[in-house]
C-alpha cells in the first residue's frame, strides 16, 4: 500500500543540548553527513512508491528533522504535539500549521505528547507510550479527538524514551518490539495482544533497530540491526536497510524522521462514513446510523464487523437473500459476456426474459424498464393510449382511478396523485388525469368511474402506507367491476409480488388476474434495477416503435439476472417458504398485541406492526431494535415494517421477533 509521509530536511541539525541519553553536545554531529543519510532515507521511500511531502526546517530547531514527533494523523484528523522540553516546544505549532494550512482538521493538545514518537496507529487501536515524554492524560485526549481506542504502555528504560524506539507495527495487526523497554504490566498487554509479534534482542534495540517503518510489505530499518533484519526476512518481509548513524547521535532513526499522513479517505468507522455522507449527500433519506459493508442471506455486517438481521430487504428487493448464489452466478457470467446493447439490436438474453416473465404472469407480452417508477409511468402511458385507441376516449380526457395513501414512486407524474404531503407538496405543477378514491372500497371506485375512466391503478397490499391489506373480496370485486365497465385493472406488485406474500403475486390470494402487472424490486434480485409491465397483446400491442423506450430497459445484464429470478420463482420454493414462515411470524406477532403493539397486518413474510404511540415512535423502536441486532424501518410515525429476506431461517426469524418484543418492552 503506497503511503504518504511528511519529512523535514536536517538543514539545521546539530546536537547542542541533551534531552536523552544518546545526545552528547561535546561530541556534536556532522550536519552534511546527516543530510546525505536523510536524503538516502527519502529516496528509499520514493523508490517504494510512497509519497514524501516536506515541511520547511526552522533554524534553531535542530531536532525538527524528527518529523514523527510533530503530530499524530489518523483518519485525516491531526492531533498536535506538545513537547516535554522547551528546546523543542516551537516544533508543535510549526507542524500543526502545516496541516491546518492544507485543510486538515487539527487539535492543539492540552496535554504533553510527542506525536507519533509515542503514538503508533494500528488497524483497530493506537498504541501509546508514556514514562518519559508523553503524558498519560494525552492518551485519553488523543482517544477523545480521534475516536479510536488508545492502549497505554509504560516505558522504563531511558534509552528508549519514545515508544517508537522500542516497537514498530509490522502491519495493522502485528508488531515487533524490544521487551526490555517495557514495564511488566505493559509486557503482559503486548503478549496478550500480539502473541505472534517479532521479539527483538538488546543488540538490535541498542542500534535503534526498532525505530523502523513498515508499509506492510517492506521494512525500512537501520542497517546495523542484523538479527532483527534476518527475523523479518524469515517472516517474508522485504528489508530495506538504511544508514542513519549521524541522526542516531540525537537519539533518532528512520521512524523518527517520518510522520505518516493517514488520509481522510480511509474511513474506517461508521461515524466517519455517516459524517461525510450527511455533509456530502442530499438529505432525502433519514437512514438508521449503520454503515453496511457486506451481506449474505438474511445477515448484514457493518464496517465495524457487527452483524444484523436484515428485516427490510431493500423494500422487498432482496426477497431471495443477499448474494443469492444462483443470481450472483448469472450476473457474474453475464458481466463477462455482454452488459449493454440498447434496444436498437436484439441480444441473446432478451427473448428468454420476456417469454419467461410472460409465462410467470400468464401474459402475452412484457415491456421491460429499469426502476419501479418507470414501470408505473409505462403502465400509465399504455393505459392512456389504450383508452384513446381501443376504448375511444376523447383526446386528452383519459382518467385513471388511484387510491388514497398510494405509493407508486417518485416521478413528477406519480407524485401528482400522491396523498402523502412529503411526497407531493411543492413539486407542482402537477400532472392531471387522476382521481383519488378511498382504498378498500369498491363503491368508491364505482362512483368515480365515468366515460373517461381508462384504468384503476392500485397496490394489492399497500406497502409504504404500513402494509395495509384490503378487506377480503376487494380485489375480486375490483376485477369484476373493471371487466364489466371495460376499464383496465392495473396491479402495482412491485413490493407485494414475487414471493413476498406467500404467493407469486398478492393478487393470487383472491385468484385475481389484473390486466397489467407492474413489477420491479425483487425482479432485479437485489443486484440491478429491473422492472417491467406484463399485459396481453390487446393492451400492450398499442405501443408502436418509437413511442416508448429506455436505453437500459431490458439490457443483457438485467435480463440475465431477471432470468435467474424467474427460474427461482418457477420452482415455487420461495412462495411456499414465505407462506410457512409467514404463519410463524404472524402467530408470534399477534401474541404481542396488547403488549405495546396495537395492531398487526400483513401477509406471508410481510408485516406492519403498529406500536402503541404513547410508548414510543416507530423510529425510536427501530433504533432500539437495531441496538439488538435487527434492522427494520418505521413508516408513518408509529408503524414498523417487517420484511426479512425469504431465505431467513425460522430460528433467526423468531429471534428477531423476540428482539422486537424486547425493544418495545424497553419503553414500558
Ligand atoms: N533528540 C530528539 C529528542 O530527544 C530525538 C527524537 C527522536 N524521535 C523519535 N520519534 N523517537 O526529542
Three-state secondary structure readout of 160-216 = HCCHHHCEEEEECCEEEECHHHECHHHHHHHHHHCCCCEECCHHHHHCCCCCCEECC
- Say if 229 falls within a structural domain: yes
- The CA 142 to ligand 1 mean position distance, Å, reads 20
Q: Comparing C-alpha atoms, which of 308, 369, 285, 311 is closest to residue 543?
A: 369
Counting atoms of ligand 1 from 1, which one is nearest the CA of 23?
A: 1
Question: 353 catalytic, yes or no?
Answer: no
SS3 154: strand
- Say if 611 falls within a structural domain: yes
Full-prediction pTM beyond 0.75? no
Of the residues 320, 521, 610, 634, which is catalytic? 521
Q: In terms of domains, do 621 and 491 share one?
A: no
Ligand 1 neighbour 181 (Cβ under 6 A) = no
Q: In terms of domains, do 549 and 593 share one?
A: no
- Say if 267 falls within a structural domain: no
Q: Which of 540, 571, 602 delimits the end of a domain?
A: 571
Q: In terms of domains, do 153 and 122 share one?
A: yes
The CATH number of the domain where 56 resides is what?
A: 3.75.10.10
Q: In terms of domains, do 368 and 502 share one?
A: yes
Q: Which domain holds residue 552?
A: 325-571
Residue 125 CA: distances (Å) to CA of 120, 268, 336: 9, 12, 40
- Say if 274 falls within a structural domain: no
Q: Which of 571, 595, 610 delimits the end of a domain?
A: 571
Domain count, the chain: 3
- The CA 146 to ligand 1 mean position distance, Å, reads 23
At 104 the pLDDT is 85
Q: In terms of domains, do 78 and 195 share one?
A: yes
Ligand 1 neighbour 162 (Cβ under 6 A) = yes
The CATH number of the domain where 522 resides is what?
A: 3.40.640.10
- The CA 151 to ligand 1 mean position distance, Å, reads 21
**SS3 labels along 277-315:** HHHHCCCCCCCCCCCEEEEEECEEEECCCCEEEECCHHH
Alpha helices (H) in 554-649, listed in sequence order:
556-570, 573-591, 618-627
At 270 the pLDDT is 77
Q: In terms of domains, do 421 and 551 share one?
A: yes
Stated as kind and residue range, the H or E segment containing 532 is strand 531-535
At 306 the pLDDT is 83
At 268 the pLDDT is 59
Q: In terms of domains, do 76 and 197 share one?
A: yes
- The CA 545 to ligand 1 mean position distance, Å, reads 77
Name 633's bridge partners. Answer: 641
Ligand 1 neighbour 66 (Cβ under 6 A) = yes
Contact indicator for 301, 292 with CB cutoff of 8 Å: yes
Q: In terms of domains, do 597 and 519 share one?
A: no
The CATH number of the domain where 582 resides is what?
A: 3.90.1150.10
Ligand 1 neighbour 165 (Cβ under 6 A) = yes
pLDDT averaged per 10 residues in sequence order, the chain, 668 residues: 91 97 96 98 94 94 98 94 98 96 90 98 95 98 95 98 98 96 98 96 98 96 97 96 97 98 67 83 92 94 87 96 98 97 95 98 98 98 98 98 98 98 98 98 98 98 96 98 98 98 98 98 98 98 97 98 98 98 98 96 97 94 94 92 98 97 93
At 264 the pLDDT is 59
Q: Which of 523, 539, 571 delimits the end of a domain?
A: 571
Cβ contacts of 138 within 8 Å, gap of 6 or more: 82, 109, 111, 112, 113, 118, 128, 130
Q: In terms of domains, do 552 and 638 share one?
A: no
Q: In terms of domains, do 560 and 589 share one?
A: no
- Say if 279 falls within a structural domain: no
- Say if 395 falls within a structural domain: yes
- Say if 151 falls within a structural domain: yes
Q: Comparing C-alpha atoms, which of 127, 186, 132, 128 is closest to residue 158?
A: 132
Q: Which three cell numbers stand for residue 464?
A: 409504504
Ligand 1 neighbour 81 (Cβ under 6 A) = no
Ligand 1 neighbour 251 (Cβ under 6 A) = yes
Q: In terms of domains, do 204 and 296 share one?
A: no
- The CA 61 to ligand 1 mean position distance, Å, reads 12
- Say if 319 falls within a structural domain: no
Of the residues 99, 132, 407, 574, which is catalytic? 407
Q: In terms of domains, do 170 and 82 share one?
A: yes
Amino acid at each position: 500500500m503506497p503511503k504518504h509521509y511528511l519529512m523535514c530536511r536536517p538543514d539545521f541539525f546539530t546536537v547542542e543540548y541533551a534531552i536523552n541519553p544518546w545526545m552528547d553536545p561535546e561530541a556534536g554531529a556532522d550536519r552534511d553527513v546527516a543530510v546525505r543519510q536523510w536524503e538516502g532515507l527519502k529516496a528509499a521511500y520514493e523508490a517504494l512508491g510512497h509519497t514524501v511531502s516536506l515541511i520547511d526546517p526552522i533554524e534553531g530547531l535542530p531536532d525538527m528533522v524528527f518529523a514523527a514527533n510533530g503530530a499524530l494523523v489518523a483518519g485525516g484528523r491531526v492531533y498536535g504535539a506538545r513537547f516535554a522540553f522547551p528546546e523543542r516546544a516551537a516544533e508543535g505549532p510549526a507542524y500543526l500549521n502545516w496541516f491546518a494550512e492544507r485543510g486538515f482538521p487539527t487539535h492543539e493538545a492540552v496535554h504533553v505528547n510527542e506525536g507519533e514518537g509515542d503514538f503508533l496507529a494500528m488497524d483497530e487501536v493506537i498504541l501509546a507510550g508514556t514514562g518519559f515524554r508523553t503524558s498519560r492524560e494525552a492518551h485519553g485526549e488523543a482517544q477523545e479527538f480521534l475516536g479510536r481506542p488508545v492502549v497505554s504502555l509504560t516505558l522504563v528504560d531511558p534509552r528508549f524514551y519514545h515508544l517508537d524506539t522500542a516497537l514498530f507495527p509490522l502491519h495493522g495487526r502485528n508488531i515487533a518490539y524490544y521487551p526490555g523497554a517495557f514495564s511488566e504490566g505493559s509486557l503482559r498487554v503486548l503478549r496478550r495482544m500480539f502473541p505472534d509479534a517479532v521479539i527483538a534482542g538488546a543488540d538490535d534495540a541498542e542500534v535503534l533497530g526498532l525505530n523502523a517503518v513498515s508499509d506492510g510489505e517492506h521494512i525500512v530499518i537501520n542497517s546495523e540491526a542484523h538479527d532483527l533484519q534476518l527475523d523479518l526476512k524469515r517472516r517474508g518481509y522485504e528489508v530495506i536497510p538504511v544508514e542513519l548513524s549521524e541522526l542516531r547521535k540525537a537519539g533518532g532513526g528512520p521512524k523518527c524522521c517520518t510522520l505518516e499522513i493517514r488520509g481522510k479517505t480511509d474511513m474506517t468507522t461508521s461515524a466517519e462514513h455517516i459524517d461525510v455522507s450527511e455533509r456530502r449527500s442530499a438529505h432525502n433519506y433519514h437512514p438508521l446510523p449503520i454503515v453496511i459493508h457486506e451481506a449474505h442471506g438474511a445477515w448484514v455486517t457493518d464496517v465495524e464487523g457487527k452483524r444484523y438481521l436484515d428485516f427490510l430487504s431493500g423494500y422487498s428487493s432482496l426477497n431471495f437473500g443477499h448474494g443469492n448464489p444462483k443470481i450472483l452466478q448469472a450476473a457474474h457470467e453475464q458481466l463477462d459476456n455482454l452488459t449493454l446493447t440498447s434496444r436498437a439490436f436484439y441480444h441473446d438474453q432478451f427473448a428468454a426474459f420476456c417469454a419467461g416473465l410472460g409465462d410467470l404472469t400468464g401474459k402475452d407480452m412484457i415491456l421491460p424498464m429499469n426502476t419501479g417508477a418507470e414501470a408505473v409511468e409505462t403502465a400509465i402511458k399504455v393505459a392512456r393510449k389504450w383508452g384513446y385507441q381501443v376504448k375511444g376516449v376523447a383526446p386528452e380526457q383519459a382518467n385513471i382511478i388511484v387510491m388514497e395513501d398510494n405509493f407508486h414512486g417518485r416521478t413528477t407524474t406519480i407524485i401528482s396523485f400522491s396523498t402523502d404531503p412529503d411526497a407531493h407538496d411543492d413539486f407542482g405543477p402537477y400532472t392531471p388525469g387522476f382521481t383519488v378514491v378511498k382504498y378498500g372500497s369498491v363503491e368508491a371506485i364505482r362512483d368515480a368511474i365515468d366515460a373517461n375512466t381508462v384504468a384503476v391503478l392500485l397496490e394489492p397490499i399497500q406497502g409504504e402506507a404500513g402494509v395495509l391489506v384490503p378487506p377480503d373480496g376487494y380485489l375480486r370485486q375490483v376485477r369484476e367491476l373493471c371487466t364489466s365497465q371495460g376499464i383496465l385493472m392495473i396491479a402495482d406488485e412491485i413490493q407485494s409480488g414475487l414471493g413476498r406474500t406467500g404467493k407469486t403475486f398478492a393478487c393470487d390470494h383472491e385468484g385475481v388476474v389484473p390486466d397489467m402487472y407492474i413489477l420491479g424490486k425483487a425482479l432485479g434480485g437485489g443486484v440491478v434495477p429491473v422492472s417491467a409491465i406484463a399485459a396481453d397483446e390487446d393492451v400492450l400491442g398499442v405501443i408502436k416503435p418509437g413511442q416508448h423506450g429506455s436505453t437500459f430497459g431490458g439490457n443483457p445484464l438485467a435480463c440475465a439476472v431477471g432470468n435467474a429470478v424467474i427460474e427461482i420463482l418457477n420452482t415455487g420454493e420461495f412462495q411456499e417458504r414465505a407462506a410457512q414462515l409467514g404463519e410463524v411470524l404472524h402467530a408470534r406477532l399477534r401474541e404481542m398485541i396488547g403488549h405495546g403493539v396495537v395492531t398487526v397486518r400483513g401477509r406471508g413474510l410481510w408485516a406492519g406492526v403498529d406500536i402503541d404511540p404513547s410508548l414510543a415512535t416507530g423510529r425510536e423502536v427501530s433504533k432500539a431494535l437495531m441496538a439488538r441486532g435487527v434492522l427494520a424501518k418505521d413508516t408513518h410515525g408509529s408503524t414498523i415494517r417487517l420484511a426479512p429476506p425469504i431465505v431467513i431461517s425460522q430460528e433467526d426469524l423468531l429471534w428477531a421477533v423476540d428482539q422486537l418484543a424486547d425493544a418495545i418492552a424497553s419503553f414500558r
